[in-house]
Homo-oligomer: A and B are copies of this chain.
Amino acid sequence: MLDLAVLGILRRGPRHGYDVKRQLAELGWLRVSFGAVYPALRRLERRGLIEAMHPTSRRKAYRLTAAGAQTLDAMLLDDSDEMEEDRRFAMRLAFLGYVDPERRIGILKRRRTRLVARLAEARLALRRAATSGSDAYTLALVRHNVRTVEADVSWLDELITLARTEPPVSELPLTTVLPDQAPT
């Protein structure tokens, strides 16, 4: 998941590690520690998905390679999440602008299907908790769970109609000119 996040951030332009972590935190997507960020950058570099640029000052900026951009595309299309479903989807949504416009609705719809399934589970859990005489707090928790998933589904419906009407977001050029200097 960190890998996806890093590739997504670097898709917008070169960044150094400290900056990647900060941007992730500022947008409230992922609060990772440096002990995760720096190893991730080295890992991605070894796999050839990103490359280090001539260090300006002491900062070591990385930029996405062509292979990295391809891998990012594949990651954005890959729905087969089981673990951390919600956070992973949030990640993918944040970078959905980089996905081929034709495929965006498909991603959103598959997410909707999964949420609807979870809604059924949550409602089942609610019925079970209600009949088996759970205490007020357990009940409140399960009920809130149902409401949250319901809200998520209708939000997704908004997103789907938005994806249908909205013209594709203008994309940054990737293979053309990327500044060799990291932005301050």
Contacts and interface: CB of A to CB of B under 8 A. Distances in A.
A162 interface: yes
Contacts of A93: 137, 140-141
Contact of A28 (B94, B121, B135, B166): B121
Interface in A134-184: 135-138, 140-142, 144-145, 147-148, 151, 155, 158-159, 162, 166, 169
A141 B94 contact: yes
Task: Classify the interface of chain A: helix, strand, loop or mixed.
Answer: helix
**Most B-side CB within 10 Å, residue of A26, A93, A94, A162:** A94
Contacts of A95: 137
A105 interface: no
A121 B125 CA distance: 32
A27 B142 contact: yes
Interface of A: 26-28, 90, 93-97, 121-122, 125, 128-129, 135-138, 140-142, 144-145, 147-148, 151, 155, 158-159, 162, 166, 169
